[in-house]
Amino acid sequence: MNHDGFIDLPETEAVSGVPFDDAPQEMNIPRDGY
């Protein structure tokens, strides 16, 4: 985190555990619901 008061997309991975990238169709999501 750069503590600029904004949540940047790369900063969301640490909290969500989901890496965001250019190929979401290739992501391995262990379950299909919340």
* Conformation bin of residue 15: beta by default, left when phi > 0, alpha when psi is -120 to 50: alpha
Does pLDDT of 4 surpass 70? Answer: yes
Average pLDDT over residues 8-30: 74
Residue 10 has pLDDT above 70, yes or no: yes
| 31: confidence class by pLDDT, cuts 50, 70, 90 | confident
CA 17 to centroid of chain Cα atoms: 6
Which residue stretches of 1-34 are H helix? 9-16
The torsion of the CA quartet 18, 19, 20, 26, rounded to 10 degrees, works out to -90
